[in-house]
């Protein structure tokens, strides 16, 4: 498989809304009324994650900001995002990007970075003045995270919450109580009774401390609460895995939000979500798109909870929307997926030190700001010890070593999964890697049984991109789902750890004259986001099915020829998966489905 839909189409889409944001930072403004607070967000021994938050505490807007601080010798910033960070010796300076320099009164903005060493910042200044808003006293530290709340006295409409106190160098002033990521009360004690709830409903509570300088610390762990009473019970989805990918960039041009999982009915019919993608760079897991992940605020009409985000809430972005989704569907599990076609090249460096890689991933996934959102990690290393967008020579044991390190770090209770090739050809990508040896460390493999054929072969022959079985005239032997699954099982991977993959899109050619597969073409058919690719929700009406081959559908309309799965072919594939004893199914990705989620419904019905 030469291309992957999720990287080829998706990553290009991700870049579009950010392209206009790149530019030079504005010059530093003279001393204004502002504060800057620092927090260490993670620590993996050899390095750490840090974050500064700048807040406009004055009455007029700030057009730019500059934060300066000193690190002791041996401590440094290695990479940063949402600010331009430079150094002169042990003195560090961070200037705003072109898109985040303006702060209205009361507004705040954060930038993050990875660092090396163990020192703490000192002599902090923001726009030339002390970071705590004074003129001579260096900025003090933010408070620690309070203890995870415990719930008691749960009734139809109320719950009492209690937590252990946070600590702060200058004293804790009060605590914000958050329900489903939104502040519902600020109290001076370490307990609170929340009232006015809905009977038989699910809620998630966290707490954060505020110090005497009004700085907020990291959010505590979350406690889930289900109020008594009510007439409904959470939906059951059966014993098979039903997993869908949600792309961070889909919220831009595609305008597919987490809320669409609710309005389409899909959230009630799946068991797991893979959030795609985190980056893999410098041998570490890293943020893919900070704005989409945890900074973007959502309006009431685009928010899962129906309540608008506020500028000062501890967590925004898709992560908070996923938190709200889990509050509505407490049985739903969410994994953070790292890599993908475009970022799989970063795994070579990660494989050189699996333990350090696993530590970095754990600290990022379990960051206190969003630790309650994720139930595990998915590794999307698409061509280990093989060639893809680049060529990897890590060796056949590298993938196994990486998965072993992740399991050791995340523990037995977390989900650790991986997306894998479906190249079942002799001497192909499955043969290049010890997937059987690695299978003891994973909960399951997402076998990418799609993208076998496409218009990268410009003149054809036309062929279905996701054949279930081989067929007469297939361009490459072994490029089908059944052969891939058979090869995994022959290698020693249990069938119960294999998920069949479904693409919610089609691949197509133009310049085609014949209906049946095997025709010649002149190039890729036109697609909305990328040549040769189109969503199912478009194709079902723009180019209806002509026939089926090898368990999937194809369509010839005008001079275009497309192949894609439909509710009918998905039903057949789910039936086959059950007879093979597979662990379930997954799909790429939600936004290709209809507004009422008919492909998700087909997967759900087919596996029940």
* 243 token code pair: 């997993």
Q: How far apart are CA 121 and CA 119, in angstroms?
A: 7
DSSP three-state, residue 104:
coil
Cβ-Cβ contacts under 8 Å for 43 (sequence gap 6 or more): 49, 363
Cβ-Cβ contacts under 8 Å for 217 (sequence gap 6 or more): 39, 142, 143, 144, 145, 166, 168, 208, 209, 210, 211
Question: Under a CB-based contact definition with an 8 Å cutoff, are residues 274 and 243 in contact?
Answer: yes
Among 75, 47, 65, CA closest to 108: 65
Query: Order of strands, edge to edge, in the sheet holding 159-162?
Result: 150-152, 159-162, 191-194
Location of structure tokens 């907020």: 216
Q: Is 382 an annotated catalytic residue? A: yes
Among 294, 429, 460, 434, CA closest to 368: 294
In the set 68, 248, 324, 382, the catalytic residue is 382
Question: Under a CB-based contact definition with an 8 Å cutoff, are residues 500 and 484 in contact?
Answer: no
CA 184 to chain CA centroid, nearest Å: 27
Q: How far apart are CA 442 and CA 376, in angstroms?
A: 11
DSSP 352-384: HSHHHHHHHHHHHHT-TTTTTT-SEEEEE---T
DSSP 455-496: TTSTT-----SS-SS--TT-SSTT-SHHHHHHHHHHHT--GG
Cβ-Cβ contacts under 8 Å for 412 (sequence gap 6 or more): none
Question: Under a CB-based contact definition with an 8 Å cutoff, are residues 456 and 8 in contact?
Answer: no
CA dihedral 535, 575, 597, 560 (to 10 degrees): 20
Q: How far apart are CA 274 and CA 147, in angstroms?
A: 28
Q: How far apart are CA 172 and CA 144, in angstroms?
A: 9
Among 505, 465, 466, CA closest to 593: 505
Classify strands 202-211 and 333-339 as parallel, antiparallel or unpaired: unpaired
Among 584, 590, 592, 381, CA closest to 500: 584
List residues with catalytic annotation: 382
């Amino acid at each position: 498989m030469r291309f992957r839909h999720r990287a080829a189409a998706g990553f290009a889409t991700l870049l579009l809304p950010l392209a206009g944001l790149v530019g030079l930072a504005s010059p530093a403004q003279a001393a204004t009324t502002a504060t800057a607070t620092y927090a260490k967000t993670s620590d993996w021994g050899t390095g750490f994650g840090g974050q500064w938050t700048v807040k406009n505490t004055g009455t007029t807007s700030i057009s730019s900001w500059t934060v300066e601080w000193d690190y002791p010798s041996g401590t440094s910033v290695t990479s940063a995002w949402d600010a331009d960070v430079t150094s002169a010796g042990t003195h560090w300076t961070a200037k705003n990007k072109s898109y985040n320099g303006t702060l209205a009164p009361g507004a705040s903005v954060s930038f993050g970075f990875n660092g090396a060493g163990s020192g703490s910042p000192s002599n902090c200044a923001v726009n030339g003045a002390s970071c705590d808003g004074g003129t001579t006293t260096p900025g003090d530290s933010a408070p620690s995270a309070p203890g995870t709340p415990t719930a008691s006295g749960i009734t139809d409409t109320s719950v009492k919450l209690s937590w252990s106190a946070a600590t702060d160098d200058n004293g804790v002033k009060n605590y914000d109580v958050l329900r489903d990521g939104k502040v519902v009360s600020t109290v001076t004690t370490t307990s609170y009774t929340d009232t006015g709830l809905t009977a038989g409903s699910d809620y998630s509570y966290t707490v954060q401390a505020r110090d005497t300088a009004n700085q907020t610390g990291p959010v505590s762990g979350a406690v889930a609460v289900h109020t008594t009473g009510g007439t409904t019970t959470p939906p059951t989805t059966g014993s098979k895995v039903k997993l869908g990918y949600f792309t961070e960039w889909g919220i831009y041009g595609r305008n597919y939000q987490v809320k669409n999982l609710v309005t389409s009915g899909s959230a009630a019919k799946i068991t797991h979500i893979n959030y795609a993608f985190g980056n893999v760079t410098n041998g570490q897991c890293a943020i893919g798109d900070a704005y989409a992940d945890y900074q973007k605020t959502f309006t009431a009409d685009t928010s899962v909870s129906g309540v608008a985000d506020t500028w000062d809430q501890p967590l925004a972005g898709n992560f908070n929307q996923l938190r709200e989704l889990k509050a509505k569907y407490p049985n739903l599990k969410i994994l953070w997926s790292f890599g993908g076609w475009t970022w799989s090249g970063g795994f070579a460096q990660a494989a050189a030190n699996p333990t350090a890689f696993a530590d970095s991933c754990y600290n990022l996934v379990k960051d206190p700001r969003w630790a309650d959102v994720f139930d595990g990690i998915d590794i999307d290393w698409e061509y280990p010890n093989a060639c893809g967008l680049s060529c990897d020579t890590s060796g056949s044991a590298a993938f196994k070593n990486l998965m072993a390190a992740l399991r050791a770090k995340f523990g037995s209770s977390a989900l650790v999964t991986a997306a894998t090739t479906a190249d079942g050809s002799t001497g192909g990508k499955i043969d290049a890697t010890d997937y059987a040896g690695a299978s003891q460390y994973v909960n399951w493999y997402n076998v990418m049984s799609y993208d076998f054929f496409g218009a990268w072969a410009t003149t054809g022959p036309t062929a279905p991109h996701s054949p279930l079985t081989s067929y007469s005239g297939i361009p490459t032997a072994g490029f089908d789902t059944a052969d891939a699954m058979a090869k995994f099982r022959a290698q020693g991977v249990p069938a119960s750890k294999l998920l069949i993959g479904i693409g919610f899109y089609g691949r197509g050619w133009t310049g085609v004259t014949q209906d049946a597969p095997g025709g010649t073409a002149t190039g890729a058919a036109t697609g909305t986001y990328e040549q040769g690719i189109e969503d199912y929700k478009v194709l079902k009406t723009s180019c209806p099915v002509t026939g089926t081959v090898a368990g999937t559908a194809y369509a010839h309309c005008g001079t275009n020829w497309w192949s894609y799965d439909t509710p009918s072919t998905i039903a057949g594939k789910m039936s086959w998966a059950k007879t093979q004893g597979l662990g379930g199914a997954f799909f790429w990705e939600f936004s290709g489905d209809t507004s009422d989620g008919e492909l998700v419904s087909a997967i759900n019905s087919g596996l029940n």
